[in-house]
Amino acid sequence: MKKVITSVAVFLLMTAAVATKGFSENRIHELRAAFAGGETVSSVFPEKETASVSDGIPQTGDRDYTLTYEVDGKPYGEEEILTVGSVIIPREKPVKEGYTFSGWYAVPATMPEKDYVIEGSFSLNRVTVTFDTFGGTKVAAITADYGTEISEPSAPSKPGFSFIGWEIDGNEAVFPFTLTEETVITAHWKAKEYTLSYYIDGSLFAEESYNSGDTVAPAEAPVKEGFTFSGWQNLPEKMPGGNLRVEGSYSANRYTVTFDTDGGSAIAPVTLDFGAEIETPEAPVKEGYTFCGWDRTIPETMPAGNIKVTALWVINQYTITFDSAGGTKISPVTADYGTVIEAPKRTVRLGFIFAGWQIDGKEVQWPYTVREDVTMTAQWNRPKFSLNTGEMKIIPNFVLLLFRFRK
């Protein structure tokens, strides 16, 4: 008696056989796909092909034996008649609600030369119920055999809430409760109402009412010029189970006065708390200019913002006095600091030759830049005539004139 067996192992043997019987490559692929999908030999091969395939399978013996499956000592399914050496493909594992199948024990690869029993067993599942108290006192989980009935545990407690009961997926949990699967049972609470008080620098600012567990929306603190609010200290995200007082405070901002001396001596900026007294700095110094104050009044106390003050200057004027040292008079020149002036017209002195101007013994270079009051002194040289050669020489600062007489 031939029995059709659908298995990957049998398919592999048949694949080798059909390859020797002249099956095309496409036909081999069709056979492989069919067996992989659970088809039987008889459904895949026509009668002619089946005979060819059977001829190609190696035979290990002529005797048939009975293969029996038992679960927990009881027969499972029909017996199978297999030829010695046939490949054994274990049956699909049985399923039993609330139990876990152990698997088939001692499955041989091929049919032995005797009747054979393959055994398996079920073990009762253990099921756990977890109690989620949502912040309440803990309730221990319960683990017991599948089908066990459990009683309702003691009610948990939670500050600011009243316990209503237990729920499963939003529905009331009924006790006694039968264990059939892993389950989470949650506590249902009703919040109590409490007062949240806000204080700023020790004074009551506002009060609000919340249920315990409600999300707290922080009160908006008023704006105070020159100050920064610290925020509410220890304000929770959720209202606790009791009245609550939170506090905040203001801290003075710090601002800076910057001094722009416009080219004068530098003055460091001043940074102070809002309302702090500002000390007016010493006046800056700038060469050739006189300081005449700031472009805006420096406040007595620090305002609520940074400020900048700029120095105001008046350019100095200086006088250049010319001491002609006996020559013709040269009028003085008065000009702004930094003015560039040219040399005045040349002074004249009888019997002398003008040799330039000096300041404190140093020759003046023209054009001259005015930087201070100065006196320029004329320099004179006297000419000298040689009676022998008729040449004239310059003798500085001497009045005598010598003349050469011709014969």
56: left (phi over 0), alpha (psi -120 to 50) or beta: alpha
- Could you tell me where the beta strands, DSSP code E, fall in 42-182? 64-71, 74-75, 80-83, 99-101, 116-120, 122-124, 126-132, 142-145, 149-150, 161-168, 171-172, 177-178
Task: Round to whole Å and give the CA distance between 218 and 230.
Answer: 13
114 and 158 together in one domain: no
Residue 348, in any domain of the structure: yes
Residue 404, in any domain of the structure: no
Residue 67, token pair as written in the block = 């293969």
Residues above pLDDT 90, as percent of the chain: 72
322 and 381 together in one domain: yes
Helix then strand then coil, in percent of the chain rounded to 5, is 10, 40, 50
Task: Round to whole Å and give the CA distance between 120 and 71.
Answer: 5
pLDDT digits (tens, 9 = 90+) for 187-244: 999 878 899 999 999 999 999 999 888 899 999 988 899 999 999 998 999 988 789 9
How many separate domains does the chain show?
6
pLDDT band at 6 (very low <50, low <70, confident <90, very high): very low
Nearest to 166 by CA among 135, 188, 142, 140: 188
Residue 310, in any domain of the structure: yes
In this structure, of 32-46, 82-96, 102-116, 241-255, the range with the lowest mean pLDDT score is 32-46
In this structure, of 106-110, 165-169, 366-370, 391-395, the range with the lowest mean pLDDT score is 391-395
Task: Round to whole Å and give the CA distance between 372 and 376.
Answer: 12
332 and 373 together in one domain: yes
Mean pLDDT of the chain: 84
Residue 305, in any domain of the structure: yes
311 and 321 together in one domain: no
Residue 291, in any domain of the structure: yes
In this structure, of 24-28, 83-87, 149-153, the range with the lowest mean pLDDT score is 24-28
54 and 79 together in one domain: no
Q: What is the pLDDT of residue 394?
A: 52
380 and 334 together in one domain: yes
User: What CATH number does the domain containing 117 carry?
Assistant: 2.60.40.4270
pLDDT average, residue stretch 7-27? 42
Q: What is the pLDDT of residue 82?
A: 94
User: Where among 204, 228, 252 does a domain terminate?
Assistant: 252
Residue 334, in any domain of the structure: yes
179 and 222 together in one domain: no
pLDDT digits (tens, 9 = 90+) for 297-337: 999 999 999 999 999 999 999 999 999 999 999 999 999 99
Show the domain range for 342.
317-396
Reduced to 3 states, what is the DSSP secondary structure of residue 35?
Answer: helix
Q: What is the pLDDT of residue 308?
A: 96
pLDDT digits (tens, 9 = 90+) for 274-291: 999 999 999 999 999 999
Does the pLDDT at position 397 exceed 80?
Answer: no
pLDDT digits (tens, 9 = 90+) for 114-128: 999 999 999 999 999
Residue 204, in any domain of the structure: yes
Residue 188 DSSP label: E
392 and 322 together in one domain: yes
- Phi/psi for 281 (5° steps) reads -75, 165
b/e per residue 220-231 (b: at least 16 CB within 10 A): ebeeeebbeeee
b/e per residue 371-384 (b: at least 16 CB within 10 A): eeeeebbbbbbbee
End-to-end Cα separation, the chain, in angstroms: 178
- Could you tell me where the beta strands, DSSP code E, fall in 17-78? 64-71, 74-75
Residue 263, in any domain of the structure: yes
321 and 392 together in one domain: yes
Does the pLDDT at position 398 exceed 60?
Answer: no
User: Where among 170, 191, 212 does a domain terminate?
Assistant: 191
Task: Round to whole Å and give the CA distance between 271 and 278.
Answer: 9
Residue 367, token pair as written in the block = 């054009």
Q: Is the pTM of this model over 0.85?
A: no
User: Where among 143, 159, 191 does a domain terminate?
Assistant: 191
Nearest to 147 by CA among 118, 131, 127, 166: 127
pLDDT digits (tens, 9 = 90+) for 71-93: 999 999 999 999 999 999 999 99
In this structure, of 50-54, 110-114, 143-147, 347-351, the range with the lowest mean pLDDT score is 50-54
322 and 387 together in one domain: yes
206 and 220 together in one domain: yes
388 and 323 together in one domain: yes
